[in-house]
Amino acid sequence: MSGMPTGPYQDWAKQKLGFEYNDIQLLITALTHRSYVNEHRKSVSEHNERLEFLGDAVLELAVTDYLYKHYSEPEGILTSWRAALVNTTSNAKSGEELGYEPLVRMSRGEKHGSERARHQILANAYEAVIGSIYLERGYNDAAAFIEEHTISKLDGILESGSWRDPKSHLQEISQRIDGATPVYRVIAEDGPDHDKVFTLGAYVGDKLMGEGTGPSKQAAQQQAARAALEEYKKRAINQRKIGR
């Protein structure tokens, strides 16, 4: 490791994971982005993508195992629940909560990158940390970590219904209430081609029910559908109040 200060990494491990690494290089590598290696080729040779590959598999297995053992829903529903738990947004949120961002080694350029790039780096590091725990402590400890930091979000996902595909759900609601199918239209496109942000609206009939933004039209449609569902929810609440 050629003089690599390990103290902050061991301190983080003790505080957040409850143990010290016998091989602290596993954690350091888990928190090393490819761009850092490109800037330090003479002193650093390994980034976190192999650990990310391993951690992704352990994460999916642990979540699948938990859902199978604790719920009797059909395969399609369990798959949707798993997808809501294991994705870039969820993993990045777990990374933020764990607070390892100051320890992530990345290039100077990446440190000043977009918010979307930052979330991707945090999410990938989360899977790589899982891979490092698996190698250092074994599957049971990795699964316990996943249960605490990923599976713990399941109750909130089930309560909010966010596991459902928002576009499909919106179509069901709009057809039932308004007899119309949602249409998605581009409202704005901002940013350079390599980092474009799209704003789309979800229209039911001629009414704009919700807007969404995202790095792709598909992502913006999903956000717009969620906003439209919230609008339908507010409408239902208001109608109940009026009917009292």
Two tokens at 148? 């605490």
For residues 144-155, one letter each, b for 16 or more C-beta atoms within 10 angstroms of the residue's C-beta and e for the rest, the string is: ebbeebbbeebe
Q: Which of 41, 55, 78, 58 is nearest to 163 (CA)?
A: 78
Q: Which of 52, 110, 127, 136 is catalytic?
A: 127
Two tokens at 223? 């956000």
Alpha helices in the chain (DSSP H): 7-12, 24-30, 34-39, 49-70, 75-85, 88-98, 108-111, 115-137, 139-149, 154-160, 166-177, 217-243
Active site residue 56: yes
Q: Which of 52, 56, 110, 136 is catalytic?
A: 56
- CB distance 213 to 198 below 8 Å: yes
Amino acid in the structure at residue 217: K
Q: Which of 147, 165, 172, 159 is nearest to 84 (CA)?
A: 165
Euclidean distance between CA atoms 228 and 185, whole angstroms: 13
Q: Which residues are catalytic?
A: 56, 127
